[in-house]
Amino acid sequence: MGNNGWNIEVWRIALVIFMSILGGLISAQWLLSLLLCLVVYIAWLLYKLNQLHIWLSKGAKPALLPDSNGIWERVTQKIQLTHKKSDRRKDRMANLLKRLQDIIAGLPYATVVLNGNNEIDWANSLSQEYLNIDIKKDRGQRIDNLIRVPQVHQILAENANKEIEVSFPTDDFGLDKQIALQVIPVGGDLKLLIARDTSERNKINRMRKNFIANASHELRTPLTVIAGYLEIMQEDEEFPKQLQPALHASADQSIRMQRIIEDLLTLSRLENSDLNDTTSNIINVPSILERVYKDESTLIVNDSHKLVKNIDENLKIHGAEAEIISVCSNLVHNAIRHTQDGTMITIEWKLNANNEACLIIKDTGQGIPAEHIAHLTERFYRVDKGRSRETGGTGLGLAIVQHIVQRHNGKFDISSEIGKGSEFKVTFPVSRVYKD
Ligand code: ADP
C-alpha cells in the first residue's frame, strides 16, 4: 500500500474490527458490538472532517493546521501545497501586472484602457495632462461623457486602428493643444485609447512652412529684377561678344531659379491652405487632357516621342481645376523630358473596376531603378540631377503632384521596370467621380 497515509488508516480499521470481535466475545452481542465500534469510528471520521472544514474556512493557514496523522495529514499537506502554488502564481501575476502598469505609465503617451461600453478601466498619469482624465475619480465613467469631441466619438465607434488629430483648449494660457488620438482594439472587449501631444511638432512644421514661403516670397522680387536686366542686356547689340556666353548662362540660371521659386510657392500654397472644394466644381478632365496633349505635342521635336491618348470622354470629377491641370501637365511633361528618343507615351483616363477615376501616364522609356521610386515625391529628389537640370526641371514636380492628389483624397502610385518603362497612376475615389 506504500507510505501514502493509508497504512495508518488500515490499522485503525483493523482496530475497529478487533474491538468489535472483543466486544462480541465478552458480551456475545456480535452485531451490537460491531455497530457500536462502527458508530465510534464514523463519529471520529466526522470530527476530523469538521476540523478540516473549519481549517479550510479560516484560509488554510499553516499556523492553524489541525493535529492529524495518516490520510488526514496527507490531505492537509496536499491542500497546503496547492495553496502555496496558487499564492506564488498570484504573486507572479500581480508582479507582472505591476510591471506592465509601470511600463505603460512610463510611456510618453496618455493611455486609457476602455471596456466594450467605452467605460474607463484604467488610465496612466499623462491621461490627466492630455485628456483631463483622473483615474481616481473617473474609473467606470464613459469616456464619451468626458471627451465631448465628435471625431473622438467617431473613432471609438469605428474601433479601427486610425489616428486623428484634435485641438483641446488648455487652461493655462487659453492656447490650443494639439493631441493625436488613436484607438487600438486589443481583443475581447478591451481597447486602448492612446494620445500624444503634437503641438510642438506642429509648431516646428508651421515654422518650416512659413520660412520656406517667406524666403521664396522675398527672393521673387529681386530675381524678377535680375532676370529683367539680363533680358535687356541680351537684346543689347552692343554687349561685348566675349561676354555673351556668360550672359546667356546667367539668364538661363535666373529663369531656372524663378521656376524653382514659383514651384516652392505653389507647394507652400498647397500645404498652407485647405482645398477650396465645393461639390459643384465639376472638372472636365478629358478637355484638360486634350489641352495638355496639344501643348506637350508642340514640345516634341523631330518626332522624338509618340503621344497616344486613351480617354473616357464622359468621365469628370469634382476638384480644383488649376490643380488637376498641374497634375496632368507635370506627369506628361516628365514622361517627355525624362525618357530617351523613340519613347511611346500613353495618356489613359478611365474608371477602374472599383469605379474609381484613374489617370495613368505610361511610357516605354528606360525606367527608374527600384531604389529611387519611393523617394521621387520628395522635394528636389532627382534620379539624374544633370538631366533634370538640363531639361529645366526643378525637382519639385512630383512633390506637387503628390500634394494635390492627397488633397483630393486620391492615391499616387509609381511603378517602373528598367528597360521597359514607367507608369505614374493617380486614382481618385468614387466620391470624387461626377455623376450626371
Ligand atoms: P523634375 O523637375 O526633375 O522633373 P520631378 O519631381 O518632376 O522633378 O521628378 C523627379 C525625378 O523623377 C526626375 O528628376 C526624374 O529623375 C524622375 N522621373 C520623373 N518622371 C520620370 C519618367 N517618366 N521616367 C523616368 N524618370 C522620371
Q: Whose alpha carbon is nearest atom 20 of ligand 1?
A: 334
Q: Is residue 139 part of a domain?
A: yes
CATH of the domain at 120: 3.30.450.20
Cβ of 422 less than 6 Å from ligand 1: yes
Q: Whose alpha carbon is nearest atom 7 of ligand 1?
A: 397
Q: Whose alpha carbon is nearest atom 13 of ligand 1?
A: 382
Cβ of 423 less than 6 Å from ligand 1: no
How much distance in Å is there from the Cα of 409 to the middle of ligand 1?
23
Q: What does the pLDDT read at residue 294?
A: 95
How much distance in Å is there from the Cα of 312 to the middle of ligand 1?
26
| C-alpha to C-alpha distance for 207 and 152, rounded to whole angstroms | 28
Are residues 402 and 299 part of one domain?
yes
> Model confidence over 103-119: pLDDT tens digits?
888 888 999 999 989 99
Atom of ligand 1 nearest to the CA of 339: 24
- Burial bucket for residue 346 (CB in 10 Å: 0-12, 13-18, 19+): middle
Q: Is 387 a residue whose pLDDT tops 80?
A: no
Torsion of CA 195, 199, 204, 207, to 10 degrees: 140
- Could you give the number of structural domains in the chain? 4
CATH of the domain at 406: 3.30.565.10
User: Residue 229: which pLDDT band, with cuts at 50, 70 and 90?
Assistant: very high
Which of 197, 217, 237 finishes a domain?
A: 197
User: Residue 373: which pLDDT band, with cuts at 50, 70 and 90?
Assistant: very high
Q: Whose alpha carbon is nearest atom 10 of ligand 1?
A: 382
Are residues 336 and 310 part of one domain?
yes
Q: Is residue 19 part of a domain?
A: yes
Q: Which has more pLDDT, 272 or 285?
A: 285
| C-alpha to C-alpha distance for 99 and 276, rounded to whole angstroms | 50
Atom of ligand 1 nearest to the CA of 399: 6
Are residues 426 and 287 part of one domain?
yes
Q: Is 314 a residue whose pLDDT tops 60?
A: yes
Q: What's the 3-state SS for 276-341?
A: CCCCCCEECHHHHHHHHHHHHHCCCCCCCEEEEEEECCCCCEECCHHHHHHHHHHHHHHHHHCCCC
Are residues 407 and 302 part of one domain?
yes
Counting Cα atoms < 13 Å in the Cβ hemisphere of 384 gives 15
Q: Is residue 177 part of a domain?
A: yes
Which 3 state secondary structure label does DSSP give 202? helix
Q: What does the pLDDT read at residue 173?
A: 57
Q: Which has more pLDDT, 276 or 43?
A: 43
Contacts of 87 (CB under 8 A, 6+ apart): none
Contact present, 121 and 115 (Cβ < 8 Å): yes
> Model confidence over 23-73: pLDDT tens digits?
999 999 999 999 999 999 999 999 999 999 999 898 888 888 887 788 888
Q: Which residues pair with 177 in a beta bridge?
A: 168
Identity of the amino acid at 392:
G
Calculate the alpha carbon distances from 362 to 192, 213, 376, 436 in Å. 45, 33, 16, 29
Q: Is 83 a residue whose pLDDT tops 90?
A: no
Contact present, 283 and 400 (Cβ < 8 Å): no
Are residues 292 and 214 part of one domain?
no
Q: Is 145 a residue whose pLDDT tops 70?
A: yes
Find the mean pLDDT for residues 254-258. 93
How much distance in Å is there from the Cα of 141 to the middle of ligand 1?
55
Are residues 247 and 145 part of one domain?
no
Find the mean pLDDT for residues 137-151. 90
DSSP string, 138-199: HTTSBHHHH---HHHHHHHHHT-S-EEEEEEE-TTTS-EEEEEEEEEE-STT-EEEEEEE-H
Which of 175, 197, 219 finishes a domain?
A: 197
How much distance in Å is there from the Cα of 369 to the middle of ligand 1?
12
Cell of 282: 465639376
User: Residue 1: which pLDDT band, with cuts at 50, 70 and 90?
Assistant: very low
Q: Is residue 102 part of a domain?
A: no
Q: What does the pLDDT read at residue 274?
A: 81
User: Residue 141: which pLDDT band, with cuts at 50, 70 and 90?
Assistant: very high
Q: Is residue 242 part of a domain?
A: yes
User: Residue 332: which pLDDT band, with cuts at 50, 70 and 90?
Assistant: very high
Cβ of 226 less than 6 Å from ligand 1: no
The total of other beta-carbon atoms located within 10 Å of residue 48's CB is 16
Find the mean pLDDT for residues 77-88. 90
Q: Helices in 345-427 by DSSP H: which ranges?
A: 370-373, 385-390, 397-407
Q: Is residue 100 part of a domain?
A: no
Lowest mean pLDDT among 62-76, 144-158, 387-401: 62-76
Atom of ligand 1 nearest to the CA of 330: 7
Q: What does the pLDDT read at residue 174?
A: 58
Tell whether the torsion through CA atoms of 40, 41, 47 and 50 is positive or negative: negative
Are residues 422 and 284 part of one domain?
yes
Tell whether the torsion through CA atoms of 247, 249, 254 and 255 is positive or negative: positive
Q: Is 275 a residue whose pLDDT tops 60?
A: yes
Are residues 288 and 394 part of one domain?
yes
Residue 115's domain comprises 107-197
The total of other beta-carbon atoms located within 10 Å of residue 322's CB is 10
Are residues 390 and 366 part of one domain?
yes
Are residues 339 and 221 part of one domain?
no
Are residues 348 and 301 part of one domain?
yes
Residue 206 φ then ψ, to 5°: -65, -40
How much distance in Å is there from the Cα of 265 to the middle of ligand 1?
19
Cβ of 193 less than 6 Å from ligand 1: no
Which of 197, 223, 248 finishes a domain?
A: 197
- Burial bucket for residue 300 (CB in 10 Å: 0-12, 13-18, 19+): middle
Q: Whose alpha carbon is nearest atom 8 of ligand 1?
A: 395
- Mutate which of 270, 334, 336 to test ligand 1's pocket (most atoms within 8 Å of Cβ)? 334
Find the mean pLDDT for residues 130-153. 90
Q: Is residue 97 part of a domain?
A: no
| C-alpha to C-alpha distance for 280 and 93, rounded to whole angstroms | 61
How much distance in Å is there from the Cα of 424 to the middle of ligand 1?
11
For the chain, give the mean pLDDT: 90
Q: Is residue 101 part of a domain?
A: no
Among 117, 133, 120, 118, residue whose Cα is nearest residue 179: 133
Q: Whose alpha carbon is nearest atom 4 of ligand 1?
A: 393
Cell of 415: 511603378
Cβ of 421 less than 6 Å from ligand 1: no
Q: What does the pLDDT read at residue 163?
A: 86
User: For a pLDDT cut of 90, what percent of the chain falls above it?
Assistant: 67
How much distance in Å is there from the Cα of 282 to the middle of ligand 1?
29
Are residues 406 and 293 part of one domain?
yes
